[in-house]
């Protein structure tokens, strides 16, 4: 996965920033939004952000 790829154009949030938020304890879309701002402007990336949150939470829990 490209951790430098921007997921949320409005807030310039990358895959890596979402992973960092999850690694720091965020487990929901809302917590990631609070930590990163992703999906809080136009909302076009909400599905992508939710998918990444789910993926990173699962990876974290499987460690």
Predicted local confidence at residue 11, as pLDDT = 98
Q: Retrieve residue 60's tokens.
A: 């974290």
Q: b/e for 16-52, b at 16 or more Cβ within 10 A? A: ebbbbbbeeebeebeebbebbebbbeeeebeeebeeb
What is the reported pLDDT for 38?
98
Q: How do residues 5-59 score in pLDDT, each as one tens digit?
A: 999 999 999 999 999 999 999 999 999 999 999 999 999 999 999 999 999 999 9
Tokens representing 55? 């993926």
């Amino acid at each position: 996965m490209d951790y430098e790829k921007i997921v949320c154009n409005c807030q310039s949030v990358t895959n890596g920033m979402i992973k960092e938020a999850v690694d720091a304890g965020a487990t929901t879309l809302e917590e990631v939004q609070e930590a990163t701002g992703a999906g809080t402007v136009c909302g076009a990336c909400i599905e992508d952000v939710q998918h990444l949150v789910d993926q990173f939470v699962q990876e974290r829990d499987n460690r």
